[in-house]
Chain A
Amino acid sequence: MSISVESFSPLQQGLKAEGINRPSTTLWQDAWRRFRKNPLAMGGLTVLALIILFALFGPFFSQFDYKTNNLMATNQYPNWIHPFGTDELGRDILTRSMFGARISLLIGFGSVAINLTIGIFYGGISGYKGSWLDNFMQRIVDIIFSIPDLLYVILLMVTFGPGLRNIFIVLGLVNWVPMARIVRGQILTLREQEFVLAARTLGADTKRILIKHLLPNSIGQIIIVAALQIPAAIFMEAFLSFIGLGVQAPMVSLGSMASDGRMNIPSYPYSLIFPAAMIALLMLAFNFVGDGLRDAFDPKMRK
């Protein structure tokens, strides 16, 4: 018996392209289940949450603000009123740490949000379109990758001037490349896999495949990279403060406090130690969370 072409007819239009009939555990539920079992990662997440609360709501419980001077109470050692002491202008270091943490976190999340957007867009197109476009786009990435980023961060910061907005722009401009690489790499491997083929056979178009299949499947890797780029951005801002190109005073970041405090170690060690300890805590937390996320999302680690 021969099978004629007429035996096959296209599916009725409007039907779900590929329906799944059973409830499934999503990637997120899966990852969260694994993440929760990792004590270091959970510890990191807790510390991170505490620091975020401290930064967001701490200032409401403080009778001081970060910029009003009190020249009657300068350079006080830690005491009951000022648990972290006061700085050269009599400002409460605890309160300034809260604001500083706020700005540092903002720089971390903000600049990563920027390079995430650029990176996903760029890497997604490059990886999915392939062929000459991919080749061309990857050459650009190669060039940017060979640029000494420190040099460019400084050149751009000098040109634009210090300040929060410019830090966002410059860190975003410089840091999207690794993100684009990861996204492209993910998409390159994923698009050859059977489930993409299946989706395509079932009639899903490019946009749908990209948004519904490829991106969600690379999200794990993207989050891992992002989780490590946030502390890197906070570090970079600290370095910029060190060379005088950080946030604009009287605004503070943990980095600018540490770089000012560095000058004070012999005379007023607490003005370096507290902000430096805050940075260290923040970094530890991000690193543990980042490691935990990698374990949670990486299928190879599944036991």
Chain B
Amino acid sequence: MFKNHKWLVTTTSIALVLGVVLTGCGSTAPTAGTTPSKEMKMSYAPGSEPKTLDPQMSNGIPEMIMEMNMFEGLMRLDKDSNPQNAIADSITVSPDGLIYTIKLKDTKWNNGNPVTADDFKFAWMHALNPEAAAEYAYQLFYIKNGEAYNSKKANAEDVGIKVVDPKTMEITLESPTPYFKSLLAFPTYYPVNKNNVEANPKWNLQPETFVSNGPFKMQSWSHNDKLVLVKNSNYWDANSVKLTELTFNLVSDGKAALTAYEAGQLDGIDQTAVPISDLDRLRKAGSLKTSPYLGTYFYRFNVTKKPLDNTKVRQALALAINRQALIDNVFKAGQTPALGYVPGGVPDAETGKTFREVGGELFKEDLTKAKQLLAEAGYPDGKNFPELSILYNTNGSHQLPAQAIQDMWAKNLGINVKLVGQEWKVYQRSQQDLQYDISRAGWIGDYIDPMTFMDMFVTQGGNNQTGWSNADFDKDIETAKKSGDQKVRMQAMHDAEKVLVNDMPIMPIYYYVNYYVLKDNIKGLIQLPLGFTDFKNVTVEK
């Protein structure tokens, strides 16, 4: 056999050869800043490897950022989140708000096929198909019999999607949905190329078979490394697209992404990936950008547990923290203290005003009142108050705020709480099973309407997770859901929010802000409040 030093030499040379061979493949890393004049390239880190790039099968922000730059739905959101006709040429809504008749523009897929009404129906039916088991199928439950078909209570033919001719479709809804047009801009509502999908069931895994109709098309996808998109010349609005190449670097570690950004390897990082500890420094350097975001950070109270079943105790806890101090020291992105539940950026019935502006602040931080409430509940100066615990998930930055709130309650109310960190899915489970006292939570809207925040707290709602139940609240939500009149809906939801915030099964902490880093020479990037990033109009200046 072999002698030891020969063995060493053999291993060494094999290793070297293999190393060179394996790393030699695909060494076409684009380097930022060295772009020739005609080309306009940029790189961006939206988060980690997408679960899938099939628009109907995805439900996460990074996936949807990638999809919204490769696909185009009937509508596309402009920079103020207003839906604008995209593939749709015109939309007419029946007076009862239930039937949408949509005419399509003459547009093409990047393989040259025309985009037809059939492509839309095919895609949507795929999302609703119970066999496909799409997680985000419920985004299509607004369509008549969509939910029934998905839960096998109706047939595919009963679903309210009708192809009138290749360029016309008619959609029937379950109930009037004033925000349906903005839903049509959502990735679950994107079309897919029917012919292509039927020919290649695994179409969305390789660039060769990935057919899309948006501003960009897929050039290459190296898993867990990068996804490279190039301009799609078949896009109907290709003239507005200036960027020729867009690289999404799939980076899981925010720290690594930021180091790469500062070393010039990346041109921007999405908010999910920017480390909080660097926000102060980035703000001073001027590279931190912010934009509105549709989300609220709050703590849940388990109202089935003593002493949290007492409204006064919950109110006392909520009034006794200093939200601005938390934002300045712990959250750091310039968020807004939440003294209500629905965040800003959601329009109200009255044009030009947001739901939050109409609703105003629903409570005030007040230490004296908090102490008084706590005394009324039978715990003067926190005496005899049982030791509660704050549950949080250990991935992400929830431990520091929990420690700060723990400290505020100890100092302000004389109450001791302990912290319980759990792994992400264990934490979700504990929360769902009401195995907690106080639990950190956050909610990001699925669409731009207060309802995406409100209906979760109905009695026995799957996302309620506090054990809280209130008949008035339920009734208001019911009213809002049935009505197609924006005035009636908004009023009902304002009433409901007051009930919720007064009863405090939750302690609102802050309204999210979207923060990201981006080089100054990149213009025209649109950050939407639902967390999507649109590169369609981006230009890179020298």
| Residues of chain A having any CB pair with chain B under 8 Å | 67-69, 71, 74-75, 88-90, 157-158, 161-162, 244-245, 248-250, 262-264, 266-268
Contact = CB atoms under 8 A, between A and B. Distances in A.
Nearest to B255: A263
Interface of B is mostly: helix
B277 A267 contact: yes
Given A89-B330, A89-B407, A244-B421, A249 B281 contact: no
9 contacts: A71-B328, A88-B400, A161-B423, A244-B395, A244-B423, A248-B419, A250-B403, A264-B277, A267-B277
A88 B277 contact: yes
A249 B419 contact: yes
B278 A266 contact: yes
Contacts of A157: 423
3 tightest CB-CB pairs across the interface, nearest first?
A244-B394, A69-B407, A267-B281
A266 B404 contact: no
B253 to A, nearest CB: 10
Given A88-B330, A90-B329, 9 more contacts: A158-B426, A162-B422, A249-B402, A250-B403, A263-B277, A263-B278, A264-B277, A266-B258, A267-B281
B414 to A, nearest CB: 14
B280, B419, B423 interface centre (most CB from chain A within 10 Å) = B423
Contacts of B255: 262-263
Interface in B162-200: none
A75 B330 CA distance: 11
A74 B277 contact: no
A267 B254 CA distance: 14
Contacts of A248: 419-421
Contacts of B220: none
Interface residues of B, number: 30
Contact of B404 (A69, A158, A267, A268): A69
Nearest to B276: A263
A146 to B, nearest CB: 23
B421 A74 contact: no
B329 A89 contact: yes
B244 interface: no
Contact of A68 (B394, B407, B420): B407
Interface string B405-427: 01100000000000111110010
Contact of B329 (A74, A245, A266): A74
B406 A268 contact: no
B275 interface: yes
Contacts of A250: 403, 406, 419
Given A88-B329, A263-B255, A266-B258, A161 B422 contact: yes
Contacts of B420: 161, 248
A245 B399 CA distance: 12
Nearest to B282: A267
Given A266-B262, A266-B278, A267-B281, A71 B325 contact: yes
Contacts of A162: 394, 421-423
A90 B258 CA distance: 25
